[in-house]
Structure 1
Amino acid sequence: MPVPLGWVLTQPDLALRLRGGSAGLRRDIDLVVTTELEPPFRWLSGGELVLTTGMRLPPDPAGRTEYVRELDRCGVAGIGFGIGLTHDEIPLELITAADEIGIPLFEVPLATAFAAIVERVSARIAELQYDAVLRASRAQPRMTRALIRSGSAAIVRELANSLDATVLVIDPNGTVIDSHPGEPAPELVARVRAAVLETAAAGAGVWTDSSGASITHQRIGLDRRRHGHLVVVGDTPLGPVDQILLGHANSLLALDFEQPARLHRTQHRLNGQALGLLLGASVDPSPAWEQLALASDARGRIKILVVVCDSESSAESVEAALTELVPAAGHSLFAYREATGVVLVLPADSTFAESLRPESFGGSGELIRMGVSGGHPLRDLAAAVESARLAASTAEPGSPPVDFTTLMLLSFPPAREVLEAMAHTRLTALVDYDRRHGTDLLAGLRAFLECNGQWESAAATLRIHRHTLRKRIATAAEILALDLDSARVRAELLLALLATAGTWDRTR
């Protein structure tokens, strides 16, 4: 970051005294160099504050005048002349030339070491660089939040405030879309259009117009899609840190412009899929798999969370809660609400599902059951959902999710086949009775079995009176022709129910 030459002269302990070239006090110093070379010009690149004691000054007045002029041609910011060694005072020819050219020339007293000036300017440059980086680090999050909350206009405002400059966004036709501060004057818009047109082929450029203003612009776009240009108009060209802010703002604007286009493309694809379904066509599921891949981890694997609720309103509440919780955890939301439940797809390496607790869903969490599958390849979605349903069927109402991989017996396929066969043999009569009479004896039986035959606990789970539950269990025992006072019978029935709970729920 450059330091204004005028700032150096304001440092009282350096005791510097301006002797000529006051018109150039706004020049900026990039670095400080000391030299006693007779022709130092070939080693200068511009922006230097040159310190010298004049040891190798040309002996004649014309040579000394040319010496100052040549330093100015090299782009030197200013000259510090040390007195008390080679010269007792600054030669008059140097002062006269400095005034004519407008290059600052100041006197350095014998008591002030050149090293002190070098150190002071270097420290100031470092300080300004740190301030600029700090300013950028604060401005970038503000721009991102501005995009989320208020869109492109807020980004333009934040960039203009951070750069203390005028910022415009123009579309490909040259129309101003956004600007800050205020509405730009027609003359400024004309100069901006001319600058963009001058360097449009490169996609970005810096242009100094006839008024001396610096116009920096970058094309806004992604791939071959062009949305316009982001333009900054200021008194001086942008520094490196300012360029970073400009690039960040450009990226955010490109995302903002791309969002509607991306939504339109997605909507068009969904429209086509829906039309194909209505026409009975064989719809290609590839786009759906591509979309669902956003939910997988880096290895392309997923896990499923199934939440089983006691009512449709409870399922709606769970869905609403997940709509907030899942994005807040950094995941894309892929949730499907069934009549009394929700199916959620998550990356296989996510711990989100395991961290859920019934209280995560407020008052709706008291009676819900949650199950989580193990990790599966994306295309094994159906198997993952089935595993999660089975895990949810074994969960206690109002408890944390049950992990399918911990169900030693039920996760073993041969054991599940035996239990499923037993369930269909033992429980089909009860399911048929419920279907014909509109009763819910199966749910009462499960609550009774899960509570190990404790009437009070089971009735509380179902929110019915214990005498009502006793009547239902008596009816179920009569239909099943089983002795439910037997612990072995109760254990077999519970395992059968757990192995096929999802099946019974979906066929009722």
Structure 2
Amino acid sequence: MRWLLGRRELGLRRMAGGAGDDAEITFVVTSELERPGEWLSGGEAVLTTGIALPPGPDDRRRYVAELAECGAAALGFGLGLRHDDVPDELIEAADEHDLTLFAVPLPTPFVAVAKTVTDRLAELQYEAVLLASRAQPRMTRAAVSGGASAVLKELSVACAGAVVLLDTQIRVVDTYPADLDEDVVGSVVDLVTRDASSAVSSVSSGPFGIVVTQSIRVEKRGHGHLGVVFAHEPRPTDQVLIGHANSLLALDFEKPRRLHVQQNRVHAAALRILLSGEADRGMARDVVNAASDQREEIRVLTVLDLPAASETVVRAVDDALAAATRPVFLLEDDDRLVILLRGGDTVEFADRLFEDVAPAKRRGLRIGLSSAHRVDDLPTAVEQSRMAAASAERRGRPEESTALAGRALLSFPESRRVLDGLAEILVAPVVDHDARHGTELLASVRAYLEANGQWEAAAASLGVHRHTLRGRIARAEEILGCDLSIARVRAELLLAIIARG
């Protein structure tokens, strides 16, 4: 409506109902009926010269109210034939019902207004078709390079709606945007749950907008459900794009296993190139970027101590990622397995990837998860996850790299050997003294060190007086020949005690 009022060549003048200027016009109709609202379907701009306009003020207000109730987009009032000015009652009622009321000057024929709107609707339809024709190839390329998650992103951008992908059990597999409000996702789940047994597709109005859902199936084989939430009325081209995305998702789910294996090999090769440090890594980066999230960030899982039959672990992780509609990036190298996840994936998601690994085999795995990194920082993320895995216990549960503090030095053989040697030099003499004399110097020293040299706190933890603790520490300093007031000495001695266990 706002666009139509801006056509200067028509000379239209808004008289009331400015709040309705954003209304969409679907058609222009000329009517001189006393109650034209009975014949409207909604979205029309009604043009009248007021020939049959009721004479009474209340009837005129009711005339406008009925148009608003029937969903009319606007009322155009022609001047110069029956009325020289727009009646005040129409202006008051239009403001009351937020219905745009505009005056049509005598030189402007109604057919000119209708033709202008018709031409504009044709332009918009052509533009929508053009946008859809451009979006479809992008969605197809996304399906080839990035799988289902990339298709969801392109569909969301093309339709300007939020997209939800559900599996055959109506569980959420993926959304775009990734941080889509849980209530919005829940509304899609509720609609699919309601209609799954009776409808292949549906369009419903909900608390968050208009929801279009479609079942993803090939013949009788179902693969899940696709839902799109619109803040506006879906256009015909939106339905075309949803159907195209549905077909691409179905093809991806029907992908033969051998094709899936070949694609995984391409992904693994791209990973090797990025990790090799070769100068020209642009194409490899583009491939690996399919594993990233909306911020182009990834996390890396490293699995150490793989069993001899490592293919069972690899297959389980591969199947879990494929079930989550993720592109599979796995790189098995020596005794480790490197897995790429999205930057926003949680440690709980990483843990679920190993649910189908036999418990006996899973318990022997050490698994580390890096923090989120840009794709260009892949080597850093891999090293970070390797360190986390090296320090993890053999229990088959991912350890995040952020949990490394306090135990990293004890987890690596090189640093462990140094600490073990230090323990023989610094700790063994105190242990021998305790054994010979029945003292508790080692426990006292550890309490003192872990209390950061605070006498009161250390003494309280041991249940002794601080003067007693001072005497024990002084005796330990004599045995070791060191000064525990020096921070560096305290740090080395504490690490040696911890290493000795």
When normalised by structure 2's length, the TM-score is 0.49
In our comparison, the structure showing a higher alpha carbon Rg is 1
